[in-house]
Amino acid sequence: MSSQAFDLLILGSSSASPTSERNPSAQLLNISERYFLIDCAEATQIQLRRFKAKFQAIDHIFISHLHGDHFFGLPGLLSSMHLLGRKQDITIYCPKELKEVMDLLNNVSDTRFNYKINWVFTNNDGLNLLFEDDKVEVYSFPLKHRIFCTGFLFKEKPLPRKVDKYKLDKFRISTADIMLLKNGFDVVNKDGETIKNETVTFSARNPKSYAYCSDTIYNPKIVDFIKGVDLLYHECTFLNDKKERAAQTFHSTAEQAAEIAKSANVKQLLLGHFSARYGDLDQFIAEAKPVFDNCLLATDGKRISI
Amino acid sequence: MSSQAFDLLILGSSSASPTSERNPSAQLLNISERYFLIDCAEATQIQLRRFKAKFQAIDHIFISHLHGDHFFGLPGLLSSMHLLGRKQDITIYCPKELKEVMDLLNNVSDTRFNYKINWVFTNNDGLNLLFEDDKVEVYSFPLKHRIFCTGFLFKEKPLPRKVDKYKLDKFRISTADIMLLKNGFDVVNKDGETIKNETVTFSARNPKSYAYCSDTIYNPKIVDFIKGVDLLYHECTFLNDKKERAAQTFHSTAEQAAEIAKSANVKQLLLGHFSARYGDLDQFIAEAKPVFDNCLLATDGKRISI
């Protein structure tokens, strides 16, 4: 994959229970070779193997909430990482009780991993920066579910400008000045002349963004957090035939997910977290499209280049 | 399946980590339509579905010890049983700390199952009766592993004698007396004559037995508990090339499993719990056979009628 990858791999698209076709929630997001695992249902390590993802490359795991279909695969994944020789740290962003769970599991099994877990606990305080490096920022934001739950927002930082190498020669610019150009500065060439940045560079593509919203009742308050993202994953456990049940269980319908996508003016909507009662997933698309046209289904193994 | 079934389904045959071919430990034993789940690695619920076993029929779960590859699938299985409408009790036989784990998981997820879990805690005191009904007895016995661990012994009770229906008429015996005959008693016929039991009945097959030994270092002390069983499952994580590593990690080799089978004079030996490092499982058979000839491999999905 290129160093500017922004690729999503769906590891599970079912709600609470696995079906023969669909595992519960987990996704792997690759942004410029940073591998972010988002939720980790039971058997996520098996899905990672099945879809040929290198799971030791994962250094950051984000857990939205502590319903089992979003984290029961974490203990097994962390154990396998240990057994297969992992040494490098891993950081887990999650509700604070998850550390208690892992501590108890390692205690009862008398296990001590050969690598360190850094714990970063999520909170309810609006948009909250969890991770940042030179290329990426990741935020959590509150969702409204039966228990404490957050969504996650992954944003590329603005990309460096592209340098037109042909013009470097033409304008007699030293290669030592390329970094200045990429970062938008004007430079002085070998003849002592100032060369305007835009003369020899052009802008890279716009930075990309991905928002993950699972699990949540229909809640227009999240729109501010996810405005204009390139791809929005929004849960739709139900169709409108179960709109009441959706509200009772703090879940959404496909139409409601589309309403959120429309209000937030996102570019594309990814539907997932389907109840096992639905065999034909095209019904979700049929329900969402009249409200928001550019939508697609999360299915296990699907790869989406954002 | 017949009401005298004694059938084993292998749900996982790998040691610590799953491989693309093998899931970690879990087995389903059906004795006369009592379904006993033995260990429950991650993704056991998926294996049950994959091999078309009705998992709501399971009323008894036996967990040998609290290494993750023997119980990380339990929370998900219990959750799915709940979500799919289970109402009847389930009984879990296990080390006592497992209840703490389940309590914490249900606490952090604010979950309360619609069925009751009866907990029966295993101990280190020799052969220990865990379950008994009119057809079956189940015992635990101590194994020697890095943490507290027990094996399990499943024994059919002696089967009722078979009645020769043709002879019932011939000897003018009332059908009301069939239960007496099945239980070995003589009866008085319609003419007032005493009919000897063995005149109209014949003995059923011998009661069957199955012993499950995973995980354990080579330990001849277990022989007394498993003497003469029809089928012995004994772990062999390693081959003799890793005999030292086996001892260090409190596991066994295929040859050692065969030595135990021979000493215990069992009828058949089932090998399993293979380290992921071994691709070709025939090596395990090749190593065991010179010591104990009647042996076979546990592989995922294999069904064995004992």
What's the pLDDT tens digit per position in B81-140?
999 999 999 999 999 999 999 999 999 999 999 999 999 999 999 999 999 999 999 999
* Cis amide bond preceding B215, omega within 30: yes
Looking at every residue in chain B, the average pLDDT score rounds to: 95
| Optimal mutation site among B108, B112, B122, B147, interface A, most CBs of chain A within 10 A | B108
Tokens matching residue A119 = 């714990």
Q: Which helix (H) or strand (E) holds A245?
A: helix A243-248
Q: Please work out, in degrees rounded to the nearest 5, the angle formed at the alpha carbon of residue B218 by the alpha carbons of B212 and B221.
A: 75
Nearest C-alpha of chain B: how many angstroms from A103?
Answer: 10
Q: In chain A, whose CA is at the least distance from the CA of B73? A: A42
Contact B235, B214 (CB under 8 A): yes
Model confidence band, residue A42 (pLDDT cutoffs 50, 70, 90): very high
Nearest C-alpha of chain A: how many angstroms from B42?
Answer: 6
- The runs of H, that is alpha helices, within chain B are 44-50, 74-83, 97-108, 165-170, 178-182, 197-200, 223-226, 243-248, 254-263, 282-288
Assess whether pLDDT exceeds 60 at residue A2.
Answer: no
B97-108 and A97-108 helices, crossing angle to 10°:
170
Q: In chain B, whose CA is at the least distance from the CA of A110? A: B147
Residue with tokens 């695992």: A37
Catalytic residue among A7, A39, A69, A164: A69
Model confidence band, residue B55 (pLDDT cutoffs 50, 70, 90): confident
Q: What is the pTM of this model?
A: 0.92
Cα separation, A238 vs A232, in Å, equals 17
What backbone torsions phi and psi does residue A235 show, to the nearest 5 degrees? Answer: -65, 145
Half-sphere exposure of A117 (CA within 13 A, CB side): 23
**Chain B within 8 Å of A39 (Cβ-Cβ)?**
no
Assess whether pLDDT exceeds 90 at residue A205.
Answer: no
Active site residue A103: no
Cα separation, B294 vs B306, in Å, equals 13
Give domain limits for chain B.
6-159+205-303, 165-202
Of B301, B232, B305, which is closest to residue B31 (Cα–Cα)?
A: B305
Residue A17 pLDDT? 86
Burial label, B69 (beta-carbon count in 10 A; 0-12, 13-18, 19+): buried
**Chain A within 8 Å of B110 (Cβ-Cβ)?**
yes
What's the pLDDT tens digit per position in A147-199?
999 999 999 999 889 999 899 999 999 989 999 999 999 999 999 999 999 99
User: Does the distance separating the beta carbons of A108 and B80 come in below 8 Å?
Assistant: no
Residue B2 pLDDT? 46
Who among B43, B98, B110 is closest to A42 (CB)? B43
User: Does the distance separating the beta carbons of B75 and A68 come in below 8 Å?
Assistant: yes
| Residue A144 DSSP symbol | -
Tokens matching residue B249 = 């990690």
Active-site positions of B? 69
What backbone torsions phi and psi does residue A272 show, to the nearest 5 degrees? Answer: -165, -170
Residue B106 pLDDT? 96
Range A226-250 average pLDDT: 97
A44-53, A282-291, B197-206: least confident range: B197-206
Contact B267, B230 (CB under 8 A): yes
Interface contacts A/B by beta carbons within 8 Å? 99
Tell me the Ramachandran region of residue A111: left when phi exceeds 0, alpha when psi lies from -120 to 50, beta otherwise: beta
What's the pLDDT tens digit per position in B6-18?
999 999 999 988 9
The residues in A 4-23 lying below 8 A from B, measured between CB atoms, are 16-18, 20, 23
User: Does the distance separating the beta carbons of A84 and B76 come in below 8 Å?
Assistant: no
Q: What kind of fold does domain B6-159+205-303 have according to CATH?
A: Metallo-beta-lactamase; Chain A (3.60.15)
User: Does the distance separating the beta carbons of A73 and B42 come in below 8 Å?
Assistant: yes
* Cβ-Cβ contacts under 8 Å for B286 (sequence gap 6 or more): none
DSSP characters over B7-29: EEEEEE-BSSS--SS--BSEEEE
**Chain A within 8 Å of B204 (Cβ-Cβ)?**
no
What's the pLDDT tens digit per position in B236-282?
999 999 999 999 999 999 999 999 999 999 999 999 999 999 989 99
Model confidence band, residue B204 (pLDDT cutoffs 50, 70, 90): confident
| Optimal mutation site among B11, B15, B72, interface A, most CBs of chain A within 10 A | B72
Cα separation, B159 vs B184, in Å, equals 11
User: Is CATH 3.60.15.10 the right assignment for the domain spanning A6-159+208-305?
Assistant: yes
Which residues does chain B have within 8 Å of residue A80's beta carbon, measured at their own beta carbons?
Answer: 16-18
Residue B95 pLDDT? 98
Residue of A227 and A158 predicted with greater confidence: A227
Model confidence band, residue B285 (pLDDT cutoffs 50, 70, 90): very high
User: Does the distance separating the beta carbons of A104 and B68 come in below 8 Å?
Assistant: no
What's the pLDDT tens digit per position in A90-129?
999 999 999 999 999 999 999 999 999 999 999 999 999 9
- Pairing outcome for strands A90-94 and A117-121: parallel
User: Does the distance separating the beta carbons of A75 and B68 come in below 8 Å?
Assistant: yes
What's the pLDDT tens digit per position in B4-48?
899 999 999 999 889 989 999 999 999 999 999 999 999 999 999
Which residues does chain B have within 8 Å of residue A108's beta carbon, measured at their own beta carbons?
Answer: 66, 95, 97-98, 100-101
Cα separation, B60 vs B206, in Å, equals 24
Task: Quickly count: other Cβ atoms within 10 Å of residue B292's Cβ.
Answer: 23
Cα separation, A81 vs A125, in Å, equals 32
Of A136, A143, A133, A139, which is closest to residue A152 (Cα–Cα)?
A: A139
What's the pLDDT tens digit per position in B157-188?
998 899 998 999 999 999 899 999 999 999 99
What backbone torsions phi and psi does residue A256 show, to the nearest 5 degrees? Answer: -65, -40
